[in-house]
Structure 1
Amino acid sequence: MSVAILRGIQLALDTGFWQCTVESDAQVVVNLINSKSCVNSDVGLIITDILCLLGNLLDCSVRFTPRIANRAAHSLAKLGLVYESDAFWMEEVPPCVASIVLGDYPNFL
């Protein structure tokens, strides 16, 4: 999960989103990032990279969101397992999560 957060922050930087909120259901990872803790492990190296990237953003927060509250992101993460490379959707919704997104925003259309 820490790699997904890292990729999300890299995407924010690459696309010019200097203000963002990153949500994750990996509470341990979110807590490590927010406490700016350095852990001597592979995850610790990724956390260090995340903290360095966050320093390049004007206003970016990382917060815990339970999986049940973020079904679209969870579905996209599962979809991502079938891709051999990173996939991003800007200004569109993949068909596999369209009903979830519209369910989250019933007055969207």
Structure 2
Amino acid sequence: MVRQYCRWEPPQPGTFKLNVDGAIFQNQQSAGIGAILRDSKGEVLMAASKRESAVGDATSIEMLAILRGLQLTLHLGIQHLIIESDALTLVKEMQKTEPSMTLVGNVIRDTKELMSCFRVCDVRYTMRSCNEVAHKLARHAWQVTDISLWWGSVPDVIVPALWAERQL
């Protein structure tokens, strides 16, 4: 098996990138979401790990990660936002113009409504290896009671992943 590596790519100047991911903790019957917002220089503006209790499957938690990431960034006055997720099926569903008939259709509708608050807001697929920082934040939610937020700083749990991204 050939393992593909990729590198997180910064957005164009004036645009921000929000990477999100979800993780399910079967033995705790809960899940976690991770979100990281960066600018065109790769500087971290915000990082978050949030525990979620009522999540049934991987698609639901991945969708919730997008929604929560948007909720955390909406008040920042950002006009141009790219959201990256490693959930390909969900990204394709988000890119459709017609209403979603999936089980998470209502959350997709609510998320698209939040997206309309930005001048430009695109949801894009990224490979898992390019979304490692968001994944580590989602896994970190295992240790979080509700939410941990970092504004203008980074938690120790993602420092090695951020360093590795810069080396590729």
2:96 paired with 1:35: yes
Higher helix share: 1
- Give the 4+ runs in structure 1 shifted more than 4 A: none
CA RMSD of superposed structures (Å): 1.6
Q: How far off its partner does 1:36 sit?
A: 3.0
How many aligned residue pairs are there? Answer: 106
Q: How far off its partner does 1:70 sit?
A: 1.5
Which AA in structure 2 matches 1:85?
D
Distance in 1 of aligned mates of 2:98 and 2:142: 29
Q: Which has the higher contact order (CA 8 A, sep 6+)?
A: 2
2:44 maps to none
Q: How far off its partner does 1:86 sit?
A: 2.8
Q: 1:14 to 1:86 in 2, by over 3 A?
A: farther
Q: How far off its partner does 1:18 sit?
A: 2.3
Q: How far off its partner does 1:65 sit?
A: 0.7
Higher deviation after alignment, 20-29 or 38-47 = 38-47
Higher strand share: 2
Q: How far off its partner does 1:41 sit?
A: 4.6
Q: How far off its partner does 1:61 sit?
A: 1.1
1:65 maps to 126
Q: 1:15 to 1:86 in 2, by over 3 A?
A: farther
2:160 maps to 99
Contact 1:12–1:18 at 8 Å: present in 2 too?
no
Q: How far off its partner does 1:42 sit?
A: 4.1
Q: Return 5+ residue gaps in structure 1 as ranges.
A: none
2:74 paired with 1:13: yes
What SS does the corresponding residue of 1:92 show, helix, strand or coil?
coil
2:116 paired with 1:52: no
Q: 1:103 to 1:18 in 2, by over 3 A?
A: same
1:2 maps to 63
What SS does the corresponding residue of 2:83 show, helix, strand or coil?
strand
Q: Return 5+ residue gaps in structure 2 as ranges.
A: 1-61
